Amino acid sequence: MTSPYTEAHDLFRKTVRNFVEKELRPHIDQWEEDEIFPREVFTRAGELGIFGAHYPEAHGGSGGDYWYSMAKAEELPRVGAGGLPMALLVQSDMATPVISDLGTPEQIEEFLKPALRGEKIASLGVSEPGCGSDVAAMRTWARKDGDDYVINGSKTFITNGTRADFITLMLKTDPDAGHAGISIVTFPTDVRGFHVSKKLKKIGNWCSDTAELFFEDCRIPRRYLLGEEGEGFRYLMQNFQSERLIGSASATAGARLSLEEGIQYGTDRVAFGKPIVKREVWQHKIADLATKLEAAEALVYRAADSYNEERYVKGEPVSFNTTKLISMAKVFVGDVAGEVVDTMLQFHGGWGYIEDFRVARAWRDQRLFRIGGGTSETMRYYIAKLMGL
């Protein structure tokens, strides 16, 4: 396909790249050590229009298409750690699209617009201690009490969870109805009875805070319901497509950076009389990885083109075919990116196992992609189902 990026996209990409290289990357090592980055990063990204470029102007965005978000996802990995891009992408592409799709004018004013400005931090509350990919098994529930919902339950693996100002929260409004009993609400975290149970310590993505959350008789107005009661599972499946697609774009870009940095290392590193990149065994491996990355990017772009056509050009729901392409992209990118960073760590030898080299961090960070947003096993199940198998 011809390049989907216009001059306007390229200018936006330059804005994101400058932000990353000048304002974020110089501090990333300290933020990784601190296992958190400053709240001001959200504010600054909002000021630059990075969160809202692909949202309608009426919702506080710039009215662009999905390729603006793709450009952002490809540039953020240049920061040199996976946690920060993940936290920002949760803000712009995971916790907020469903508010844009379904929110009332009041919900858009109270939650979406401040999130796109970076004034409020958003998180997406789906996974629970007893269920991850099995969304229908969730136990967090809301009972009706007059004009309010009273919420009880818990969530875990929640990105931005320790400091979110609101949660796009999945819960049961009818605990006995399975998928048909799931709804989505916007949940402000200053509600009495809400607690951050603990901050979770992860293998990678250190600078992104991940939390376990607890809800005890939390009362919110029923006007915070997004869309219709009982339709939350269907809404979530639409929302997941944005999450999985943007994650695939970011993971592909991150893997490409790891390969480029590895080639540079192999050019400088001399062993047994010549640069190790001149060794035929490594040349063949690098050629294979570069080929797989081209295939991964092509699949991601095809899925993004289809998603953009349906959601932004036609304003339609995501089709089964696009869902299948996005699921394929997530599986394939997960496998390819994992192979790239693992091979590049091996290419660095002992230094690849030392934190001074970014490939060690990339190796740790990338591993999450085959788990988060739907495991690779779950994605393969979806693909088979969508193929009619």
Within 13 Å, how many C-alpha atoms sit on residue 99's CB side?
Answer: 36
CA distance 85 to 204: 13
Residues 6+ apart with CB under 8 A from 248: 296, 300, 303, 326, 329, 330, 333
Pick left, alpha or beta for residue 78 (phi over 0 → left; psi -120 to 50 → alpha; otherwise beta): alpha
CA distance 247 to 146: 40
- For the beta carbon of residue 55, count every other beta carbon within 10 angstroms: 26
**Which residue, among 173, 167, 169, has the nearest Cα to 150 in the 3D structure?**
173
Catalytic (active site) residue 74: no
Residue from 74, 110, 128, 243 carrying the catalytic annotation: 243
* Long-range contacts of residues 129-134, Cβ cutoff 8 Å, at least 24 apart: 129/154, 129/156, 129/212, 132/157, 132/375, 133/374, 133/375, 133/378
Phi first, then psi: what are they for 140, rounded to 5°? -60, 130
CA distance 204 to 364: 5
3-state helix, strand, coil split of the chain in percent (to 5) is: 60, 15, 25
* Long-range contacts of residues 139-146, Cβ cutoff 8 Å, at least 24 apart: 139/172, 139/175, 140/169, 140/170, 140/171, 140/172, 140/215, 141/171, 141/172, 141/173, 141/175, 142/171, 142/172, 142/173, 142/183, 142/185, 144/173, 144/222, 145/219
Helices (H), 25-112: 28-34, 40-47, 66-75, 83-89, 97-102, 105-107
- Encoding tokens for residue 9? 């996209």
Residues assigned a catalytic role:
243
